Structure 1
């Protein structure tokens, strides 16, 4: 095989590899974007200082709070929570598949 053909094939493979790399890099950075307005959620939960701990499951986001009095449940539902369960010192919100991503972003804000 001619050396020019080999160089062309190697160059094409490098270009394809770079294209795939940048496509996957963009996709993963978009996946890490929080799907809700995190600042509004933090405000609805009483602010950063009111949040003690954050736990996630595949479909829920559970936050331990210092004070749960006067939480705007309707505002949290407006952010996308399909259900909310209040415990003694916890608030469990059902955000579906986005729960883990919201929880990760919330942990970074603490």
Structure 2
């Protein structure tokens, strides 16, 4: 079973995403901020990470940079999920190595398609 780590500071959104991912057949775990997310990624080695960009402690950009500094987590695909839809933010996310950048509000179908693409 593929494991997905959801790093999202909005508790309701994090919980909803975990529920949907589990319904779709994935093992899903959650982290409430970027720092906790990096630690959980190192501990659980997920197959994919869905990460909010704007969060306390470490933002999504800092998360992906920290993941890329560790050989165990460097190759884990990261899908950014963000209300920030300005061109500069999207370009920065992709330049840092994000597998995808999904804008909030997002369609569940679109997000699950991105997840499926990177977990095949």
Q: Which has the higher helix share?
A: 1
With a CA cutoff of 8 Å and minimum separation of 6, indicate the structure with the bigger relative contact order: 1
Which TM bucket (shorter chain)? under 0.3
TM-score normalised to structure 2 length:
0.22
TM-score normalised to structure 1 length:
0.23
